[in-house]
Amino acid sequence: MFGEQGIQYLKANLTKVLRSQGVLLGLVLIIIVASIVEPTFMTVSNILNILRQASAIGIICLGVTFVMMTGGMDLSVGAIVSLCSMVAVVMMNTYGSLPGSTGIVLLAILTVLAIGFAIGVINGLIITAFNGRLGETFIITYGMQIVVASLALLYTGGQFVPGIFAMGLYQQLSMGFVPIICFLSLAAIMHVVLAYTGFGKQISFIGANMDCARMSGIKVSRLRVITYGICGACAGFASIIVTSRVYSASPLQGTGYELEAIAAVVVGGTSQSGGTGGIVNTILGVLVLSVLGNALNVIGVDANAQLLFRGAIIIIAVGLDMWNKMAKQRESTK
Amino acid sequence: MSQFILEMRDICKSFPGVKALDQVSFRVQAGEVHALVGENGAGKSTLMKVLNGVLQANSGTILIDGKPSVFKGTKEAQAHGISLIYQEFNLVNTLSVAENIYLGFLQTGKSGLIYWKTVRKDASDLIGRLGFDFSVREKVQNLSVAEKQLVEIAKALSVNARIIAMDEPTSALTTKEIEKLFEIIRGLKAQGITVIYISHKLDEVFAICDTVTVLRDGHIIDTKNVRDTNHPEIISKMVGRPVEMSYPRRAVAIRDDETVLEARGVACAGFVKDVSFSLKKGEILGIAGLVGSGRTELVEAIFGARSLHAGEILIHGKKVRIRSTADGKGCSMGLVTEDRKETGLALHYSVSDNIVITNLKKISKNLFVDRKLSQEQVGRYVRELGIKTPSARQTVMNLSGGNQQKVVLAKWLFSDVEILIMDEPTRGIDVGAKYEIYLLMNKLVEQGKSIIMISSELPEVLGMSDRVIVINAGRKKGELRGDGMTPEAVMSLAIK
Amino acid sequence: MSRAKTKDIRPLELFLNQTVLFLLVGFILIMALVKPSFLAWWNIQNVLIDVSIYGVVACGMTILIISGEFDLSASSQYMWAQILYITLLNSTNNPFLSIILTLGSGFLLGTINGLIVTRFRINSFIVTLGTMTMIRGLCLVFTGGKMVDTQNKFIKALGSAEFLGLSSLFYIYLVVLVIISAMLAYTNFGRRLYATGGNIEVAHLAGINTAFQKTAAFSIMGVLCSIGGIMLVAQLRAGSTQYGTDLALTCVAATVIGGTRLSGGAGNAFRTALGMLVIVVLYKALIYLGLQAYYQNLVKGSVLILVVMFDLFMTRRRTTMKQERS
């Protein structure tokens, strides 16, 4: 009977689509529901708003993706954002009103990138000194988070620093399309590097099997250090966008960013054991969480209650991914 | 009362797309040592797993002492007296010997709490029954391979096993330890315990077993008394065609005037004390020695996977500093590791991904990996090495052991190695694939490459090498060539 | 392959295993020299109370690490227990009923964690990251971010009760510590946790229900988090989402400092207690030395890194020495 066969066919393929593109479908669903409840959701200005707000955390996620592809984790990114925020704003306050302020902005950006990179490299060096696996990256970057967070506090003795420099280029970095372009272009570059260059392939391989990578002549330690450095630099870059938007810096600016970033990366489909996933996955994850946050805001759900949704999404997304992987494995042994 | 303690009748077991066992009927007499031989993929492991309750047969019956039995899990199989000792030991490394023997079901006292004294005493008794004496408090990770195997046998005894199946029990044992294992098996036989001996090693089968059953492609081919048959007959039944027993001949390719590699006074903390040797172009140099004598550590140090504490390495007469595997690779060396699943391959990656990783430059155009180029190159190697895979994008995990090993070889050939170091190159690989690897090795040296081969299989080392050095407790005890290459000579140098 | 070698390593290993103990004792001695009042009774009491409250939860974390899992949601569960207990206390005025209900809620939350991890085979770090977020959301929605407090006499009495000069909370911790340690060392359930964490396939083949073991570990953790939360309420008579944000990671740190491998299959509650003692002593010492809050964290973080580095270094040495035997 066509009806029965048709239903079987639909059932089989539906589950397949559900588990492999579940997160994407979820995103679409959220958008549809939100648009129905609140028509202003799908306006251009709101979309841009979402993308703009997602850019800062998105940039951090890009760096975290690289680290997670090697099978590690970086819990210090939030603290790096805090520290770099402080440094950037203080620099701008001190020199920002002088003539030639474009150069100062550039200098601030470079300084902050350097600080982020340096901290990342230190993370990497410590971890690779002992061939640290996931558990060690966890604890070591956690320790570093505490250290860097206290440095951020020490920098101004715990004081909140409002921006007092002249309005200008710096503020523009978070307005209009600029942050979105920064995020997407960085994402494009990193995607190409990860998926199409030797460097990227080696990084993924390290995550797939670190021992095999080492035995195959890959410079595992060096690559890992570079990866952590890149992650730190991304955090530094993100701090520029954040401080630009809020025109100030708080020593606790980046608190909680690391867990948000890891959540987005994981929701997007990059495995925490390394070797699978990538930048495109991460962009999806970032979008899902940002759209969800915005949608809930627009619908009128309390910020605190939103946490319930975010937590649930993490579990559901990863659950779907696991289901998909298991099903694929069963199929491939045919 | 059937004379057959175990009978498996018309067992069928299929996996998606593969019929692993097809109407397999297998009978074992009580108290005998029965060998089960066959190539990789023939179905031996599957048959044993069905017996042990790990897998459920699709159809067929199992009879123990003539009574039909159904095993829904290992516990039930155990209750019927069946124990399976896997090739990769089933032990928890962080726990003690005693605890491993009684894992999860330790003896409790009246209070309901574990009575460790009894547990330890019982464990010690079991070890003693096997003729050994080491502390049962020792953590399993500190034991040698042979000792771990004893723990496995003790485990079987602890549940009063009447049928003990051993899967490739000697793959990591030294000759002395194999002798001891045979003693134990004879001892088990004397106690009335039936042993099923799964192995590729026909020498051992003919030494210790009473009966041999050959499995091929999921079918039982034949069962014979060991006395009534011989090596060639069994091999031809295993492979399905008459096969040469000897190792493939090759054209002499050695360039005596060119020394590609020289190691002088190599030492490595704790494992290698002082080893010197040289490797000529076109030569296959065998490294023999007992397990644990430092052979693997020696080659790891040469390749750069382990730090060298003393000594020098010269490539083509020039001193080189090798401090990492990248350096080793840079000197045109490659290392096929002992354990391809752990350190040789990224199991979840494709054949293609695994092969190209050693030389990404080869498939890149201006920094970027070129898909087409990659497909071409990989295709070449897959064809040349005869890797049986539906496509180069197949996940490596799904390939057979022999093909997996070929992927590892392809990986190193991809980086244009001149010196290939192979550590136990044919371990866990069936007879047919082994021969193919030997042919490949011959081809490589004929092309001008040089090979260092570590092997614990004496026939292999002697059959394939031009020269053999013997390592004993971290030192080079001797070098053999030509007529001097005999098993006795190797053994006398290897054993203190 | 000589047995002699192991015997040689033993005394050295024993020494290395106790480095944490030596560090702790050494540190206390230094502090005593610099500021003798550090060893004052009230200060010791202070330290012990903090160790007790966090220590209870750390016992649970140890159990989970032994079985091969993590629980990041400990912080949130701890917060939730405080809030729930106070709310129940204020509304029912029955401290015992409130305790039972709070423990029940902890058991439930823990079990949910365990079921998601085992049924869906998702890495516990990720799952508990999710549940941590959700429970935190629950807490915030419930309290609106405000602190809650109680005037209940029973809990006041419990909090200030002393026996032999030591707070009742310390005794509660001792009881928990002894029970958990006995469970780990002398019950098959406990030993199966080690097997599950040591090698899950082997444990499974031996007939151990590894899914049950892991779920049970999470359930126990849930209950212990609740006990910890109740203990904090006893001490402060208040609860909020501010207290214990770093609980989960501090417990993991205590376990690592105590010498337990994060890979599972080994460890015990006493070592973790030692590790927790180190952390709290260090923290209090920094406060005592008058170090500003920011410097405290700086030192705390650096010490954590250094201890882990030291521990990894020692593991490496041990593995290299052991390889000789294999």
User: Can you give the CATH number for the domain in which A302 is found?
Assistant: 1.10.3470
In degrees, rounded to 5, the angle at the alpha carbon of residue A213 between the alpha carbons of residues A208 and A215 is 145
In this predicted model, what pLDDT tens digit does every residue of C58-82 receive, in sequence order? 999 999 999 989 898 999 999 999 9
Q: What is the pLDDT of residues B254-265, one digit of tens each?
A: 888 888 999 999
- The average confidence (pLDDT) of chain C is 83
B222/B85 same-domain check = yes
Contact C197, C68 (CB under 8 A): yes
Please report, as a single letter, which amino acid is at residue C241.
Answer: T
What is the C-alpha to C-alpha distance for residues C176 and C60, in angstroms, rounded to an integer?
10
* A29 belongs to a structural domain: no
Domain contains B249: no
User: Is residue B30 over pLDDT 50?
Assistant: yes
Considering CB atoms only, which of A132, A272, A308 is closest to C312? A132
User: What ranges in B240-290 are assigned the alpha helix state H?
Assistant: none
In a domain, B245, yes or no: no
Q: Which of A205-209, A239-243, C16-20, C188-192 has the lowest mean pLDDT?
A: C16-20
DSSP state letter for B396 = G
Cα dihedral angle (B346, B352, B355, B358), rounded to 10 degrees? -90
A176 part of contact set with chain C, CB < 8 Å: no
Angle between helices C74-92 and C210-236 (to 10 degrees): 50
Residues B274 and B475: beta-carbon distance below 8 Å: yes
Where residue B496 falls among pLDDT bands split at 50, 70, 90? low
Residues B101, B89: Cα–Cα separation, whole Å: 12
Measured torsion, CA atoms of residues A184, A186, A187, A192, in degrees rounded to the nearest 10: 130
Q: Which helix (H) or strand (E) holds C210?
A: helix C210-236
For A210, the closest chain B residue by CA position comes to B343
In terms of DSSP bridges, do strands B255-268 and B310-315 run parallel, antiparallel, or are they unpaired? antiparallel
Amino acid identity at B238: M
* pLDDT tens for each residue of chain A, 334 residues long: 567 777 777 776 777 777 667 788 888 888 888 888 888 788 888 888 889 889 999 999 999 999 999 999 999 999 999 999 999 999 888 887 776 667 888 888 999 999 999 999 999 999 998 777 777 788 789 889 888 988 888 888 878 888 887 777 777 777 778 899 999 999 999 999 999 999 999 999 999 999 999 999 999 999 999 999 999 999 999 999 999 888 888 888 888 898 889 989 988 888 877 778 889 999 999 998 898 888 888 878 887 888 888 888 888 888 888 887 777 777 665 4
Cβ pair B415:A217 closer than 8 A? yes
User: CA A172 to CA A163: how far, in whole Å?
Assistant: 14
Q: Do B307 and B227 share a structural domain?
A: no
Total domains in the fold of chain A:
1
The answer to whether residue B250 is domain-embedded is no
Residue of C128, C176, C139 whose CA lies nearest to C273: C176
The sign of the dihedral angle between the CA atoms of A43, A48, A51, A52 is negative
Residue whose pair of structure tokens reads 């927790």 in the numeric block: C276
In which band, very low, low, confident or very high, does the pLDDT at C326 lie, cut at 50, 70 and 90? very low
Helix (H, G, I), strand (E, B) or coil at B387: coil
Helix (H, G, I), strand (E, B) or coil at C16: helix
Confidence of residue B388 (pLDDT cuts 50, 70, 90): confident
Q: Do C308 and A144 touch (CB under 8 A)?
A: no
In a domain, B248, yes or no: no
Q: B38-77: string of b/e by CB count within 10 Å (b at 16+)?
A: bbbbbbbbbbbbbbbbbbebeebebbbbeeebebeebeeb
Separation CA C303–CA C285 (nearest Å): 13
Hey, how many other C-beta atoms are within 10 angstroms of the C-beta on C56? 29
pLDDT at B285: 95
Of A136, A147, A315, the CB nearest to C301: A147
Tell me which of A139 and C92 has the higher pLDDT. C92
Between CA B449 and CA B455, with CA B454 as vertex, the angle to 5 degrees is 125
Whole-number Å distance between alpha carbons of B417 and B450: 9
pLDDT of residue C6: 38
Rounded Cα distance, C70 and C124, in Å: 6
Distance CA B175, CA B171 (A): 11
- The two tokens of residue B426 are 């044919």
Angle between helix axes C153-160 and C168-186 (nearest 10 degrees) is 80
> With 90 as the cut, is the pLDDT of residue B90 above it?
no
For the segment B324-335, the average pLDDT, to the nearest whole number, is: 94
CA separation for the pair C177, B134 (Å, rounded): 33
pLDDT at res. C2: 34
Other CB atoms within a 10 A radius of the CB of residue B489 amount to 17
Looking at beta carbons, which residues of chain C come within 8 Å of A285? none
Single residue among B214, B239, B264 that ends a domain in this structure: B239
Average pLDDT over residues B285-306: 89
The answer as to whether C116 is a domain residue is: yes
Q: How far is CA A280 from the centre of its chain?
A: 12
Please check whether residue A296 lies inside any domain of the structure.
Answer: yes
**Is the residue at A216 inside a domain?**
yes
- Residue C151 main-chain phi, psi, to 5 deg: -110, 10
Asked if residue B283 and residue B235 are part of one domain, the reply reads no
| Residue C110, in any domain of the structure | yes
C1 domain-assigned: no
* Domain membership flag for residue A32: no
Answer yes or no: is C98 within a domain.
yes
Residue C9 in this model has a pLDDT that exceeds 50 = no
Which pLDDT band, with edges at 50, 70 and 90, does B166 fall under? very high
Q: How many domains does chain B have?
A: 2
Q: A217's torsion region: left (phi>0), alpha (psi -120 to 50) or beta? A: left
Percent of chain B having pLDDT more than 70? Answer: 96
* Neighbouring C-beta atoms of residue C324, cutoff 10 Å: 18
Specify if C29 maps to a domain. no
Classify residue B169: in a domain, yes or no: yes
Residue C10 has pLDDT above 50, yes or no: no
pTM of the model: 0.83
Is the pLDDT confidence value at B100 over 90? yes
Whole-number Å distance between alpha carbons of B249 and C181? 64
Overall number of domains in chain C = 1
Could you tell me if the ipTM is greater than 0.90?
A: no
Q: What is the CATH number of the domain that holds B290?
A: 3.40.50.300
How far does the CA of residue C138 sit from the closest CA of chain A (Å)?
7
Q: Residue C137: its chain A contacts at CB < 8 A? A: 304-311
Pair (B286, B153) in one structural domain: no
Q: 3-class SS at C94?
A: coil
Instruction: Compute CA B476 distance to the chain's CA centroid, rounded to the nearest angstrom.
Output: 24
Last residue of one domain, picked from the residues B175, B209, B239: B239
Query: Does any domain span residue B339?
Result: yes
For residue B472, what are the domain limits? 255-494
Does one domain contain both B89 and B165? yes
Contact criterion met (CB below 8 Å) for C69 and C251: no
Mean pLDDT of chain B: 87
DSSP per residue over B128-172, as a string? HHTT----TTSBGGGS-HHHHHHHHHHHHHHTT-SEEEEESTTTT
Residue type, B211: T
| Nearest-angstrom CA–CA distance, B8 and B2 | 13
Taking CB atoms and an 8 Å cutoff, what residues of chain C touch B78? 207
Q: Tell whether B295 and B170 lie within a shared domain.
A: no
Return the higher-pLDDT residue of B28 and C157: B28
Measured CA to CA, the distance from residue B139 to residue B132 in angstroms comes to 16
**C80, C143 in Cβ contact below 8 A?**
no
**Which tokens go with A17?**
């689509």
pLDDT at A96: 72
Distance CA B405, CA B425 (A): 8
Q: Mind listing the pLDDT tens digit for each residue in C251-307?
A: 888 888 887 877 788 888 998 998 898 888 888 877 777 776 667 777 777 777 777
Chains that touch B (3 or more CB pairs under 8 A): A, C
Kindly give, in sequence order, each residue whose CB lies less than 8 Å from that of residue B240, ignoring residues fewer than 6 positions away.
B216
* Alpha-carbon distance values, B143 to B91, B95, B127, B296, C121 (Å): 11, 11, 14, 18, 32
CB B273 within 8 A of CB B244: no
- With 90 as the cut, is the pLDDT of residue C184 above it? yes
What residue has token string 């029954």? B129
Question: Are the C-beta atoms of residues B316 and B450 closer than 8 Å to each other?
Answer: no
Q: Is there a single domain that holds both residue B343 and residue B213?
A: no
pLDDT at site B493: 84
Output the pLDDT for position A334: 47
Contact C133 A151 (CB under 8 A): no
CA-to-CA distance for B260 and B279, rounded, in angstroms?
A: 6
Please report residues of A whose CB lies closer than 8 A to that of C121: 322, 326
Answer whether residue A294 is part of any domain.
yes
Co-location of B215 and B273 in the same domain = no
pLDDT for res A19: 67
Residues B403 and B470 in one domain: yes
How much is the pLDDT for A95? 81
Domain-embedded: residue A9: no
Residue C237 CB coordination number (10 Å): 17
- CB-CB under 8 Å, C120 with A314: no
Does A2 fall in a domain? Answer: no
**Domain boundaries, position A167:** 37-325
Compute the nearest-CA separation of B310 from chain C (Å).
17
What's the CATH number where C215 sits?
A: 1.10.3470
Q: Are residues B69 and B208 in the same domain?
A: yes
Residue B191's CB is within 10 A of a number of other CB atoms, namely 11
Contact between C298 and A150 using a beta-carbon 8 Å cutoff: yes
Domain extent for C224: 41-290
* A213 within some domain: yes
Residues β-bridged to residue B336? B422
Backbone Cα Rg of chain A: 21
Question: What is the C-alpha separation between B276 and B261, in angstroms, rounded?
Answer: 11
Q: What number of C-beta contacts closer than 8 Å exist between A and B?
A: 83
Quickly count: other Cβ atoms within 10 Å of residue B459's Cβ.
Answer: 14
Spatial neighbors of B288 by CB under 8 A, at least 6 apart, are: B295, B454, B455, B456, B458, B461, B468, B469, B470, B471, B490, B494
Residue type for position A191? H
| Nearest CA-CA distance, residue B409 and chain A, Å | 11
DSSP state of B344: I
